[in-house]
Amino acid sequence: MRVVLVGAGNVATHLGLALKNAGHEIAQVYSRTSISSSALANLLETESCTSLDSLQAADLFVYSLTDNALEGVLSEMTQTAGIHVHTAASVDLSVFADRFENYGVFYPLQTFSKEKEINFKQVPVFVEANTAETTAFLKELASALTDKVYVAGSEQRIKLHVAAVFACNFTNYFYTIASEIIEKEGIPFDILKSLIEETASKINFLSPYEAQTGPARRNDTVTMEKHLGMIENENYNMLYRQISQLIADKYKC
Amino acid sequence: MRVVLVGAGNVATHLGLALKNAGHEIAQVYSRTSISSSALANLLETESCTSLDSLQAADLFVYSLTDNALEGVLSEMTQTAGIHVHTAASVDLSVFADRFENYGVFYPLQTFSKEKEINFKQVPVFVEANTAETTAFLKELASALTDKVYVAGSEQRIKLHVAAVFACNFTNYFYTIASEIIEKEGIPFDILKSLIEETASKINFLSPYEAQTGPARRNDTVTMEKHLGMIENENYNMLYRQISQLIADKYKC
């Protein structure tokens, strides 16, 4: 199948690689900036372009853009045949309505960075489309890339995304806060890695509710006050106070 | 070596097992409540007791208590010979001063739950003591249990603990928030597990600063506003707004 990638970021990179590995032809990579489009086009050994007017015809157009950028690109889209899908968790299927005949959503629930390889077989993919036929097509397409294919409506997908922001994006930000705190003490971040690994692995054996530990879980007010006295960054101090209170409240009753 | 465990919680359980497996004799388990002390004493095939007056003599006393409880127990302590160590991250070594001749800290940096087995060999242990001789003794003791032994002062240890609260306790709480959000939609929490695993694994390849993804990282205001409109729980809504703002600010400059 001939695929055009519209967007050249983290998701486009990993999905493009997975599609290519599954035997599809990546006909072209579009990005607004030539650095991004060339980099991904080189990686996928295909053509790059920076103008929507130069887009080729294809069987499948995959839009992996920030939600802010998607509507602008769609309004200038020149190719209307083929199946058009976006990969955005939080954009409704209806963004495509009245523009194309066949369209859908192909949302891979994972954190992608260009620099980090991924085993796509383990990535859950949520599909949705405007017709039963296109839904079936996207399910089949996804099944060639991953063992975890689901159909989900736009409302469910956005809830999944909110959950993923807490479980992944905010969690990773807390790794950053932790690294700042200990690196300031001259302790390498590496020392926290087995703790982080165990925290993530534990929920395969216990629910996260059961897995909770720490001063707030024990309502250990002496420790929490000591910690607050040591956290100089006022934003981190505020987060520590609020989240500890929420945990303590949850386990008190 | 004869060891008495003072406390029978998560840390006492895992450390007691590790000490026993390393060939030490667990002579006794003390806890204020007989249910806790008996449970751990049974697991370790030893005696339990609920009164500090009945404590036996030992080479090593290990205090694994909430920080709130430790001082009370110490003031009633009947056995003063031997080496006395606590396992608390955020309690200063000086808590033992003028009480015993030999004392120290033996802090395992890990999240322990009784129900979840652990590979103690991978647990970093931070030791500190009142004399060089006792420090050397604790280093040797720790080296039999784990490959990761460090010496850290009380000030450094508390900073490590603050970092661990962010990297582990708060992270796990966010898994709980995520599970509540999707289970309300009838989606099992399992669907987030490969995302959580990848988030934790990614930092072995990238710094957490580099590994950051998500709407706040991209300053994708459209998505963030959509999410805020969908998060009914006002505490979770507040956390989403604050943390997103902090991430967006960090990557804007």
Minimal Cα–Cα distance from B143 to chain A, Å?
16
Minimal Cα–Cα distance from B123 to chain A, Å?
7
The model's pLDDT over B149-166, given as tens digits with 9 standing for 90+, comes to 999 999 999 999 999 999
Element (H, E) at A149: strand A149-151
Find chain A residues with C-beta within 8 A of B227's C-beta. 90, 158, 161-162, 165
Arithmetic mean of pLDDT over chain B: 96
Q: Strands B125-129 and B102-108: what pairing?
A: antiparallel
User: pLDDT grade, residue B68 (50/70/90)?
Assistant: confident
User: pLDDT grade, residue B66 (50/70/90)?
Assistant: confident
For residue B120, the chain A residue with the least C-alpha distance is A194
Over residues B43-56, mean pLDDT = 96
By the CB < 8 Å criterion, does A201 face chain B? yes
- Burial of residue B135 (CB within 10 Å: 0-12, 13-18, 19+) is middle
Query: Starting from the edge strand earliest in sequence, which strands make up the sheet with B102-108, in order?
Result: B47-49, B25-30, B2-6, B60-63, B83-86, B102-108, B125-129, B149-151
pLDDT at position A213 is: 94
Question: Rounded to an integer, what distance in angstroms lies between the CA atom of residue B145 and that of residue A160?
Answer: 41
pLDDT at position A253 is: 58
Minimal Cα–Cα distance from B142 to chain A, Å?
16
Question: Rounded to an integer, what distance in angstroms lies between the CA atom of residue A185 and that of residue B159?
Answer: 8
Amino acid at B21: N
| pTM, 2 dp | 0.92
| Two structure tokens written together for B137 | 């003794």
| B56 CB-near residues (< 8 Å, 6+ apart) | B2, B4, B27, B28, B79
Evaluated on CA atoms B164, B166, B167, B168, the torsion sign reads positive
- Which residues of chain A from 29 to 58 reach within 8 Å of chain B, CB to CB? none
By the CB < 8 Å criterion, does B69 face chain A? no
- Burial of residue A78 (CB within 10 Å: 0-12, 13-18, 19+) is exposed
Q: How many helices (H) and strands (E) would you count in chain A?
A: 10, 8
User: How far out from the chain centre does Cα B49 lie?
Assistant: 25
User: pLDDT grade, residue B172 (50/70/90)?
Assistant: very high
Taking alpha carbons only, the member of A18, A38, B44 closest to residue A28 is A38
Backbone angles phi, psi at B201, to 5 degrees: -75, -30
Closest by Cβ to A179, choosing from B116, B208, B250: B208
CB atoms inside a 10 Å sphere around CB B222? 17
Query: Starting from the edge strand earliest in sequence, which strands make up the sheet with A2-6, in order?
Result: A47-49, A25-30, A2-6, A60-63, A83-86, A102-108, A125-129, A149-151
Over residues B182-208, mean pLDDT = 95
Evaluated on CA atoms A142, A146, A151, A153, the torsion sign reads negative
CA distances from A173 to A136, A164, B192, B193 (A): 37, 13, 18, 18
By the CB < 8 Å criterion, does A147 face chain B? no
Minimal Cα–Cα distance from A72 to chain B, Å?
13
Question: Rounded to an integer, what distance in angstroms lies between the CA atom of residue A66 and that of residue A207?
Answer: 33
Inter-chain residue contact B167 with A176, CB threshold 8 Å? no
Q: Could you give the angle at the alpha carbon of A125 between the alpha carbons of A122 and A131, nearest 5°?
A: 155
pLDDT at position B253 is: 58
| A88 CB-near residues (< 8 Å, 6+ apart) | A63, A64, A65, A67, A70, A105, A107, B223
For residue A114, the chain B residue with the least C-alpha distance is B211
Q: Could you give the angle at the alpha carbon of A15 between the alpha carbons of A11 and A19, nearest 5°?
A: 165
| B95 CB-near residues (< 8 Å, 6+ apart) | B70, B71, B74, B86
Question: Rounded to an integer, what distance in angstroms lies between the CA atom of residue B251 and that of residue A105?
Answer: 28
The model's pLDDT over B31-40, given as tens digits with 9 standing for 90+, comes to 999 999 999 9
By the 8 A CB rule, do A36 and A9 touch? yes
| Two structure tokens written together for A45 | 């050994």
Closest by Cβ to B203, choosing from A89, A196, A202: A196
pLDDT at position B67 is: 79
By the CB < 8 Å criterion, does B148 face chain A? yes
Minimal Cα–Cα distance from A68 to chain B, Å?
6
| Two structure tokens written together for A106 | 């192909």
Over residues B2-26, mean pLDDT = 97
By the CB < 8 Å criterion, does B139 face chain A? no
For residue A126, the chain B residue with the least C-alpha distance is B191
- A31 by DSSP, 3-state: which? coil
ipTM, 2 dp: 0.92
- Per-run averaged pLDDT (10 residues), chain A, 253 residues: 96 97 97 95 97 95 91 93 96 95 97 92 97 98 97 94 98 98 94 96 96 94 94 97 98 81
Question: Rounded to an integer, what distance in angstroms lies between the CA atom of residue A27 and that of residue B45?
Answer: 68
For residue A108, the chain B residue with the least C-alpha distance is B195
